[in-house]
């Protein structure tokens, strides 16, 4: 119970700080880019929430493994990206986000990756139906989770470019950002989630009754990140990136919350994957993802 209360407290502090930062910028009390301590505290609270929530819902060993895997893979992808432009395109970080690892990637960047990857993982886990099992389930969770992560960057990247947090050395097609950046985001997140599911042998089991409310906390964390990015976009008069961000993230927020209200009670637990019902996996996905057809943006 103490751990659950601490998780709610962290999420509440995170949401309040994000709302205060956006309101402060809108009222002129804060300038964008935010002072580094403000950015650091926002990322730290989001990161701390994801670590605590993952440790509670997946067990400490697997939750911390996902965190370390995300930090290592994202940091390597960012370093290779900065040095070679092979992952995201030609870009480089400035000093806006604080001290940089090896003078290349700010230390808070891998933390922000986990703050995005973990809630997206939970959203994907609850979207994929119980009827989809085995390797199909692993593939769908990794793919949908990576897509949910990339959806937030639709609004986030234009903000960071406008704020001078990083600089693109070419003019891309998406508000000056190269489209390969989003391919790189998707591949990085897919690699993290795919490796974790494969190495830990994740499959759904029936948990305690509290799992639904716990999953909603992670989904709320995703919403806080998304609304924060969209709010800052609107304040900076980046109207088109804000609208694109709304369109990209809204389906994941709505479908994730609707899915958690249903009968599905899956959480992440390590165990050998079941081998049955492989043939019905695609039909199950189609049925579950039908919620997207009901969304009116």
Spatial neighbors of 23 by CB under 8 A, at least 6 apart, are none
This prediction's pTM: 0.84
- Average pLDDT of the chain, as a whole number: 83
- Percent of the chain predicted with pLDDT > 90: 60
Identify which of 277, 24, 289 has the alpha carbon closest to the alpha carbon of residue 136.
277
Q: What is the pLDDT of residue 260?
A: 62
The pLDDT score that the predictor gives to residue 133 is 67
| Cα 45 from Cα 168, distance rounded (Å) | 28
pLDDT computed for residue 208 by the predictor? 35
For residue 274, pLDDT beyond 50: no
Q: Please give the distance of CA 273 from its chain centroid, rounded to a whole number.
A: 25
57: Cβ contacts below 8 Å, ≥ 6 apart: 63, 122, 211, 214, 215, 218, 267, 268
Is pLDDT above 90 for 146? Answer: yes
Average pLDDT in the 276-294 region? 44
What mean pLDDT is predicted for residues 2-19? 90
The tens digit of pLDDT for each residue in 34-55 reads 888 899 999 999 999 999 999 9
Distance CA 250, CA 186 (A): 18
pLDDT digits (tens, 9 = 90+) for 216-273: 899 999 999 999 999 999 999 999 999 999 999 999 888 877 766 654 444 444 444 4
The pLDDT, as a whole number, for residue 34 is 87
Residue 294 burial (C-beta neighbours within 10 Å; 0-12, 13-18, 19+)? exposed
pLDDT > 70: what percent of the chain? Answer: 81
- Sole residue written with tokens 């806080």: 224
- Which is more confident, 278 or 2? 2
The per-residue pLDDT for range 163-202, each reduced to its tens digit, is 999 999 998 888 889 999 999 999 999 999 999 988 886 5
């Amino acid at each position: 119970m103490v751990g659950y209360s601490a998780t709610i407290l962290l999420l509440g502090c995170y949401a309040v700080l994000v709302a205060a930062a956006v309101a402060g910028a809108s009222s002129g009390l804060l300038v964008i880019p935010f002072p580094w301590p403000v950015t650091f505290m926002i990322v730290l609270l989001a990161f701390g929430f994801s670590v605590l929530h993952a440790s509670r819902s997946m067990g400490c060993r697997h939750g911390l493994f996902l965190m370390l895997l995300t930090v290592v893979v994202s940091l390597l992808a960012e370093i290779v990206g900065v040095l070679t432009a092979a992952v995201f395109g030609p870009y480089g970080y400035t000093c806006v986000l604080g001290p940089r690892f090896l003078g290349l990637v700010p230390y808070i960047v891998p933390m922000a990756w986990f703050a995005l990857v973990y809630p997206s993982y939970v959203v994907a886990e609850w979207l994929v139906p119980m009827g989809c099992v085995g390797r199909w389930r692993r593939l769908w969770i990794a793919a949908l989770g990576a897509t949910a992560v990339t959806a937030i960057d639709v609004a986030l990247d234009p903000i960071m470019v406008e704020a001078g947090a990083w600089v693109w050395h070419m003019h891309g097609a998406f508000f000056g950002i190269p489209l390969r950046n989003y391919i790189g985001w998707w591949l990085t997140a897919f690699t993290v989630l795919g490796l974790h599911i494969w190495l830990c042998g994740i499959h759904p089991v029936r948990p305690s009754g509290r799992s639904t409310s716990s999953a909603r906390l992670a989904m709320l964390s995703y919403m806080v990140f998304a609304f924060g990015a969209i709010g800052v976009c609107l304040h900076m008069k980046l109207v088109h990136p804000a609208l694109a961000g709304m369109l990209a993230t809204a389906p994941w927020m709505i479908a994730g919350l609707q899915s958690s209200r249903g009968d599905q009670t899956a959480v992440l637990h390590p165990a050998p994957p079941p081998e049955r019902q492989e043939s019905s996996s695609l039909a199950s996905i189609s049925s579950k993802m039908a919620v997207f057809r009901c969304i009116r943006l």
